[in-house]
Amino acid sequence: MPLPGPRGATLGSVSGPADRQLLPRLGLIEATLVVMGGIVGSGIFINPSVVARHVHSGPLILGAWLVGGAVALVGAFIYAELAERMPRVGGQYAYLREAFHPVVGFLYGWALLVVINAGGTAAVAVTFGRYAVELTGSALDEKLIAVLTLVLLAGINCLGVKSGSLVQGGLMVLKIGVLLTLIVLGLLLGHAPPPAAGTHLDGPLAFGGAMVPVLFAYGGWQTANFIAAEVREPRRNLPRALVAGVIGVVVLYLGANWVYLRGLGPEGLAATGTPASSLMRGLLGDRGATFIALGIAISTLGFLSHSLLTMPRVYFAMAADGVFFPAVARVSERTRAPVVAIVLQAVLGIAVALSGRYEQILGYVVSADWVFFGLSAASLFVLRSRAIGGRDIRFQVPGHPFTTGAFVAVSALVVLSTAWAYPMNTLIGLGLVLAGLPVYALWTRRRARAMPSVGGASP
């Protein structure tokens, strides 16, 4: 049965008008690559040095990445059960809408549209343009390359979810290859530097500071749930993809940090802002640095491809619920892709990239993102109490309610620590999210007026 939407609308139903149907075309392997593609970006090539500036010993650095992996795995377990209970298009939007109130789901979609994804897509597109200019020596402006890249990827995703997932999956395989090459070369050719003089006593606050860049590097597994309606047998395949994908990324991240420490040492890792480039330059000279630059370019391109594959499904679900422009809920009759939603995503990314305001917007992302992580995890308590999805759920979060509660607590700590460190950015970010309230009121009022009266009474 499709879940009832506000005033009788349906969310993520595979039935209904032909121009609003999404078809399941992705299997387990493709879904797993989508999970991994949502996590692995350029962070693993940069963030380890930030972690090493907070904690100063190899065991603590690796420990931070191991704990972060455990948090990500618990998050994957939570989203796996959510996916089985509600295998609906829109992912987090659907869970928040069903568990709490449609306005909570709308605020998440609004935040994704104007804060979380607008700045992220633009920043990564310009970063790709920068590396593309560096690698090719092109005379084109990096912003022009960013625009052309977003247009190309939007076109590919408009050809259908299969087309978009093939490109995203291919880029993810290349990213895995880059990381595996880095790890193997680091183990075979790297030599541990001499031990540094002096010792550092790192306390809980230092370890907590190290966890922030680690958790950001592990974020992104939840985006696979946005395309739940387009995964074959989602109750079976999506939970497996989430767990397998996160475990695969944890292994890759621990391996990369192991070779960073082996080749650079804790102090050398903290001293460089580009640990992957520093390591590979030490192993292979300029060829190694060029290889990593290529790897980062592939990673940024993969992130863009992943964003244009997954994020538009949230706006599609909002429009299908009647709280966004109706045209955004349209699906191409030929490709079965939400073309208008994809184009909207690309246009916003292009506009922010050309405006040059993406770095400022990125400063507002952190608190908003983790507020909704925590709320989505908390929604599992509500959905369980209502037996949404039935009582015979095959995949359940191990250790629930303790593990789920711990994840909610970690999300709250990330928001609080970010607010403490960057109070103005946090206030602006949350203010932008709450700015969606009058927008929601406008759309619901407009939908109510558009509905025909029943029995002479207004709806």
Give the C-alpha separation, 18 to 332, whole Å.
Answer: 9
Q: Confirm if 115 and 429 have CB atoms less than 8 A apart.
A: yes
Task: Tell me the pLDDT tens digit for each residue of 114-162.
Answer: 888 877 888 888 889 888 888 888 888 888 999 999 999 999 999 988 8
- Of all helices (H) and strands (E), which one includes residue 3? strand 3-4
Q: What is the pLDDT of residue 217?
A: 85
Task: Tell me the pLDDT tens digit for each residue of 406-452.
Answer: 999 999 988 888 788 778 888 888 888 899 999 999 888 877 776 65
Give how far Cα 396 sits from Cα of 75, 76, 81, 90, 239, Å.
12, 11, 5, 21, 10
Average pLDDT over residues 385-407: 89
What are the counts of helices (DSSP H) followed by strands (DSSP E) for the chain?
A: 19, 2
Which of the listed CATH numbers 1.10.10.60, 3.40.50.360, 3.30.1490.20, 1.20.1740.10 matches domain 25-388+396-448?
1.20.1740.10
Task: Tell me the pLDDT tens digit for each residue of 39-65.
Answer: 888 788 888 998 999 898 889 999 999
Q: For residue 200, how many other CB atoms are within 10 A of its CB? A: 13
Q: For residue 321, how many other CB atoms are within 10 A of its CB? A: 27
pLDDT tops 60 at residue 220: yes
pLDDT tops 90 at residue 366: no
Q: What is the pLDDT of residue 449?
A: 75
The three-state secondary structure class of 269 is helix
Give the C-alpha separation, 144 to 350, whole Å.
Answer: 10
Residue-averaged pLDDT of the chain = 84
The three-state secondary structure class of 11 is strand
Whole-model pTM: value is 0.84
